[in-house]
């Protein structure tokens, strides 16, 4: 079994990281950066459209 992951990039501080999409809230829900604490919709943290599509598959 292949594990899925999504790449995130904070639009505020530029912190980037990877995580399992099942550990994130839905793409329209709020999510906070672990680095600077800014809160925005989860979709705004997805690095690419492919990462967003992967997240949506796990909702």
10-residue stretch averages of pLDDT, the chain, 59 residues long: 88 97 97 96 98 96
* Strand 6-9, strand 16-19: pairing: antiparallel
Predicted local confidence at residue 1, as pLDDT: 54
Per the CB < 8 A criterion, the answer to whether 23 and 42 are in contact is no
Per the CB < 8 A criterion, the answer to whether 16 and 36 are in contact is no
Strands (E), 1-59: 6-9, 16-19, 30-32, 39-41
Predicted local confidence at residue 3, as pLDDT: 83
């Amino acid at each position: 079994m292949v594990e899925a992951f999504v790449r995130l990039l904070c639009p505020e501080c530029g912190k980037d990281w990877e995580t399992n999409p099942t550990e994130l809230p839905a793409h329209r829900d709020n999510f906070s950066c672990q680095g600077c604490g800014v809160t925005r919709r989860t979709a705004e943290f997805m690095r690419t459209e492919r990462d967003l599509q992967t997240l949506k598959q796990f909702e």
